[in-house]
Amino acid sequence: MPETVETTDIGDSVQTLSVSAWDLFIGADWVVQSVMILLLIASFWSWTIIFAKTAMLKSLNKKAAKFEDSFWSGQSLQSLHDALKGKTLDPFGTVFTIAMSEWQRNPSAIHNDSGQSLQQRVARLMNLSINKEMDGIERHMIFLASVGSTAPFVGLFGTVWGIMNSFQGIAMSRSTNLAVVAPGIAEALFATALGLVAAIPAVLGYNKLSAEINRYNARLESFSDEFATILSRKCEEAA
């Protein structure tokens, strides 16, 4: 005869297993606990990067707009260069001052045949400066990409481990009672949920921030090209 299970027994088991996230963490195996802690740390650090990068890009765009207003205001390049000396500069100001410093280093080159090589040297310095500035802006972005791609699999590892514990519990107790099976399954599903909690914001944040960084990079490179054109025109006029 098959074993009969009373409805009240199932209800009591379900009530007993209605636990909080903290209870699931405390009752989990140490391996599953390690996975949960790792995912929580990854999620916290991802949100920290997202908020920090968002604030940084907002500040950089405001500074870029202010610099462009000054650059195109009609004042001389020399007066703008002098005004920026000794100040903490944003990437636009850094690219401008590096180019101007190189341009002024050998004034006689502007008036002879070496003017072309001077323009090329200034252009290379601006490109190097842009690459250096963008490296700083893009720092830690690889972490968001890594969390977005690996966190679900880390959570899945915790899920598999929790299910293995459930089957071991069944084998040791020789019972398929809900109270024996459910804790391990609940821990496993909680690890999966934490993996998604870490991965989804990281992916969305990475995509959004990457688009904003690319727009800023394009804006900076556009300014570099415009500035190089202005210097080239001044070189031709002085020749």
pLDDT > 60? residue 7: no
pLDDT(20) > 50: yes
- Average pLDDT on 207-235 reads 92
Q: What is the pLDDT of residues 169-198, one digit of tens each?
A: 677 766 666 666 666 777 778 889 999 999
State the total domains in the chain: 1
pLDDT score, position 130: 95
Is residue 5 situated within a structural domain? no
Q: DSSP secondary structure string, 115-169?
A: HHHHHHHHHHHHHHHHHHHHHHHTTTHHHHHHHHHHHHHHHHHHHHHHHHHHHHH
Q: Residue 65 CB: number of other CB atoms within 10 A?
A: 11
Burial of 19 (0-12, 13-18, 19+ CB in 10 A): middle
Residue 29 has pLDDT above 50, yes or no: yes
pLDDT higher than 70, residue 129: yes
- 76 in a structural domain: yes
Average pLDDT over residues 4-19: 46
Instruction: List the single range of 38-42, 51-55, 72-76, 135-139 with lowest mean pLDDT.
Output: 72-76
Burial class of residue 179 in the structure, from the number of CB atoms within 10 Å of its CB (0-12 exposed, 13-18 middle, 19+ buried): middle
The tokens for 187 are 């821990």
CB 80 within 8 A of CB 101: no
Tell me whether residue 20 is in a domain. no
In a domain, 75, yes or no: yes
Mean pLDDT of all residues belonging to the chain: 83
- Whether the CA torsion 207, 209, 213, 216 is positive or negative: it is positive
Please give the share of the chain, as a percent, with pLDDT higher than 70: 79
Of the candidate ranges 64-78, 135-149, 208-222, the one whose mean pLDDT is the lowest = 64-78
What pLDDT shows up at residue 77?
Answer: 87
Is pLDDT at 201 greater than 60 in this prediction? yes
In single-letter form, the type of residue at position 219 comes to R
Residue 92 has a pLDDT of 94
Q: Are 50 and 209 in contact (CB under 8 A)?
A: yes
- Residue 17 domain-assigned (yes or no): no
Please state, in angstroms and rounded to a whole number, the distance separating the CA atoms of residues 170 and 123: 71
Q: Which domain holds residue 182?
A: 29-238
- pTM higher than 0.85 for the full model? no
Asked if residue 14 is part of any domain, the answer here is no
* 124 is a domain residue: yes
User: Is residue 65 left, alpha or beta, with left meaning phi > 0 and alpha meaning psi from -120 to 50?
Assistant: alpha
- Provide, rounded to the nearest whole percent, the portion of the chain with pLDDT above 90: 47
Least confident of 26-30, 69-73, 168-172, 235-239: 235-239
CA distance 83 to 188: 61
Residue 3 lies in a domain: no
